[in-house]
Amino acid sequence: MLSEGRREGLRLSLNRSLSEPGEASGEAAVRCPVSLPHLLAPQVVSMPASPCGESATLQRSLLLRRARALQPAEVARKLTKTKPRNFLLVDLRPFIAYNLRHIRSAINLNCSDRFNRKRLQLRRASVVDLAASPCGRDLLKKRCYKEIIVYDDSTTDLEALPPHHPVYLVLNALLEDNREPLLLK
């Protein structure tokens, strides 16, 4: 059984708890006969480098190495010269902008909202899942198209894309699907 004086020394003030960091109040330090400075001192622990960070760096370097940018003249030549088309056009703009004007035979992917971008980033959705039309889903499922040309309103440089950008996410998903992604400048 604890004596009354010793019990008073173990009480904490109402505004503090054992889990809070910081210095003990002077009143509690005087009353408490036991001093544990090595337990109260803040400790710095360095964690090893995150494997996710290395994975993201490797993914980015693979994307920059395998994906390439096309000029509009090259795409126009492909559209007019190639009769059996061996490529697919993917429009990443919002659905309303796609409906107003798009390249003929382009498929619209719905990745302009945060929800679908997050699903794509977490690999809970594929490029096929984001196709706005059933015809577009069928074309993406066929896998007879190796080259897939991706475009949106403003992206022109692959190296400047942040990892959460819709174009980056779609290009990355296409690489994981063993396709050859191309970016229309």
**Which helix (H) or strand (E) covers residue 168, if one does?**
helix 166-176
Residue 50 has a pLDDT of 52
CA distance 68 to 61: 12
CB atoms within 10 A of CB 169: 24
User: What proportion of the chain, given as a percentage, has pLDDT over 90?
Assistant: 45
Q: How many Å is the Cα radius of gyration of the chain?
A: 29
**Residue-wise pLDDT tens digits, 97-108:** 999 999 989 999
**Residue-wise pLDDT tens digits, 55-93:** 788 888 989 899 999 999 999 999 898 677 889 999 999
Given a cut of 80, whether residue 17 has pLDDT beyond it is no
Phi, psi of 21 (to 5 degrees): -80, 165
Residue 58 has a pLDDT of 86
Residue 135 has a pLDDT of 93
Average pLDDT score over the chain: 80
Find the Cα–Cα–Cα–Cα dihedral 152, 155, 159, 160, rounded to 10°: -130
Name beta bridge partners: 180: 147
- Residues in contact with 55: Cβ distance below 8 Å, sequence separation at least 6, in sequence order: none
Tokens of 92: 């990443």
Given a cut of 90, whether residue 109 has pLDDT beyond it is yes
Tokens of 145: 């198209």
Given a cut of 70, whether residue 25 has pLDDT beyond it is no
Residue 38 has a pLDDT of 53
Model pTM score: 0.69
**Residue-wise pLDDT tens digits, 116-134:** 999 999 999 999 999 999 9
Given a cut of 60, whether residue 136 has pLDDT beyond it is yes
| Cα atoms in the Cβ-side hemisphere of radius 13 Å centred on 108 | 16
